[in-house]
Amino acid sequence: MAAPFGVDVKLEHIRGVPPVINSEAETALLEAAARAELGPDAVVLTPQSMGGEDFAWMTQEVPGAMMRLGTRSHGGETYDLHRGDYIPDEHAIACGIRVMAAAALRAVLGLRH
């Protein structure tokens, strides 16, 4: 594919992605921010997933936590990700921004819980 363009390519394929390991401190910070911004019932723990996520590479270098943002409309249909008919509730974007901003402020101010 590269030859017609006169480009040399070196491809390094790494099979597999390490597991996402959430740090306890960052998980507590995100959870506290979500509950403070969206209410006490805003956080729902999810079962472990066997899905791959490249965020795992970052948490190997820097403590972090991954959260999932619910995007289903109230009473709406549930869709799997990466499908052509997936229709997210775009109001969820504002919720995610509020939680991330609150978590950043808590981190800066030293408010962990």
User: Based on the structure, what is the number of domains in the chain?
Assistant: 1
pLDDT(33) > 90 = yes
Cα 28 to chain centroid, rounded: 15
Task: Give the predicted TM-score (pTM) of the model.
Answer: 0.76
Residue 56 lies in a domain: yes
- What is the distance between the alpha carbons of residues 48 and 29, in angstroms, rounded to a whole number? 20
pLDDT for res 54:
87
What is the residue whose two structure tokens read 């597999």? 16
**Selected residue with higher pLDDT from 31 and 89:** 31
State the burial class of residue 102 (Cβ atoms within 10 Å of its Cβ: 0-12, 13-18, 19+).
buried
Domain range enclosing 102? 17-73+86-109
Residue 12 falls inside a structural domain:
no
In a domain, 58, yes or no: yes
- Residue 77's pLDDT band (cuts 50, 70, 90): confident
What one-character-per-residue DSSP string does 67-84 give? -----PPTT-----SS-T
> Could you tell me if residue 10 is inside a domain?
no
| Residue range 21-34: mean pLDDT, rounded | 94
Residues 30 and 67: beta-carbon distance below 8 Å:
yes
Residue 51 scores a pLDDT above 80: no
- In the predicted model, is pLDDT for residue 5 greater than 80? yes
